[in-house]
Amino acid sequence: MTLETESLKKLLLFSNIQSGPVAQLGRALVLYDPALGQPEVPSSKPARDEYLGRPTKILLMRMNYNEKIYARVFSEEEEFYDSLMEYKYKTIIDMIGASKKILDIGCGNGKLGELIKNELKDVEVYGVDISSNALKAAKKRGLITVKQNVDGKKLKFKDNTFDLVICGDIIEHVYNNFFLLKEIKRILKKGGRLIVSVPNVNAWYNRFLSLIGKMPCFLDSTEEDIQATPFFKNALGHIRAFNKDAIIKLLSEAGFKIKKIKGIGLNFKVKHNAIELKGYKIFATMLTKADSLLSKKASIASTILVEAEK
């Protein structure tokens, strides 16, 4: 039995003997496998805590971690995030084509969905996210919203439902991202497409940062809300890392046919409230121009965007 499987079994047992939100969370996220058995759980709190052990605590921590990060992004950092993603949004809209029924997984505040609806006629845009605050904003922007943690859970849609699924900068936050991709394939219609983007750990500036002994961007070193890169002081919630080869391999193994691979630059012109750098405006203008140019090559781009087909 794997360590993670053992942890899931313990989390289920914990949810069965506890009350309150933690128990509800356990029951909602864990599917009991009868083959695992159901051994007796210690009744005293110290013994039970020892029995549950660190692996189970880590599973709970992962759930809470991303919820905390998302809550901050779509309250304090909304303007910065939307600006940063500007070029990616434009690229995705240009790739939509004739798709009419679209799902945006990790839709956030619904900005991309709103842009799609404004640009294209007769489209139906659904949005899934873990953040209630983000979904309220997305609903106001015209998306059909569904609240769901997509990590290890079956998506709340029937087979062969969507023409297009967008999964922008999400799977690096998801522990069970292979399962998520299989679920996306299930809900896509025959010939349906997936547009997925990931931050690139091999981005040109990360290569430079590594050479001078600095922490590359897009990697978190702790579960706390701390970031050790030169400019950012907040964690990003990334628990997976990707470069061009890694995302292509993952999608192929999940059964998708790779159609297009693009490099996308970031727009750094809106200052993040946690960036500590004098003369940021001049620096950001230069960085945005350099990133747009260098990101034309996907292997060193800030963001790697892949179009794949079911």
Ranges of each domain in the chain: 3-73, 78-309
Residues facing residue 168 across a β-bridge: 197
In which band, very low, low, confident or very high, does the pLDDT at 85 lie, cut at 50, 70 and 90?
confident
Whether pLDDT at 71 is above 70: no
In this predicted structure, what is the pLDDT of residue 35? 40
Residue carrying the six token digits 């727009």: 267
Query: Phi/psi of residue 125, each to 5°?
Result: -115, 120
Taking each continuous run of H as one helix and of E as one strand, the counts in the chain are: 11, 7
The span from the CA of 202 to the CA of 232, in Å, is 18
The span from the CA of 22 to the CA of 30, in Å, is 12
The pLDDT tens digits of the residues spanning 124-181 come to 999 999 888 889 999 999 999 999 989 888 999 999 999 999 999 999 988 899 999 9
Are 209 and 215 a contacting pair, CB within 8 Å? yes
Q: What is the 3-state secondary structure (H, E, C) of 58-72?
A: HHHHHHHHHHHHHHH
Up-side HSE of residue 284: CA atoms within 13 Å toward CB? 18
Intra-chain end-to-end CA distance of the chain, in Å: 32
The span from the CA of 220 to the CA of 199, in Å, is 13
In this predicted structure, what is the pLDDT of residue 154? 94
The pLDDT tens digits of the residues spanning 23-44 come to 444 433 433 333 434 444 455 6
Query: Phi/psi of residue 203, each to 5°?
Result: -55, 155
In this predicted structure, what is the pLDDT of residue 239? 83
- Specify the DSSP class assigned to residue 33: -
The span from the CA of 69 to the CA of 59, in Å, is 16
In this predicted structure, what is the pLDDT of residue 3? 45
CB atoms near residue 46 (< 10 Å): 8
The pLDDT tens digits of the residues spanning 7-21 come to 444 444 444 444 344
The span from the CA of 176 to the CA of 23, in Å, is 21
| Cβ contacts of 281 within 8 Å, gap of 6 or more | 269, 271
With residue 210 as reference, give the H or E element that holds it: helix 204-211
Per-residue exposure over 97-136, b if at least 16 CB sit within 10 Å of its own CB, e if not:
eebeebbbbbbbbbbbbbbbbeebeebebbbbbbbebbbe
In which band, very low, low, confident or very high, does the pLDDT at 54 lie, cut at 50, 70 and 90?
very low
In this predicted structure, what is the pLDDT of residue 46? 61
The domain over range 78-309 is classified in CATH as 3.40.50.150: yes
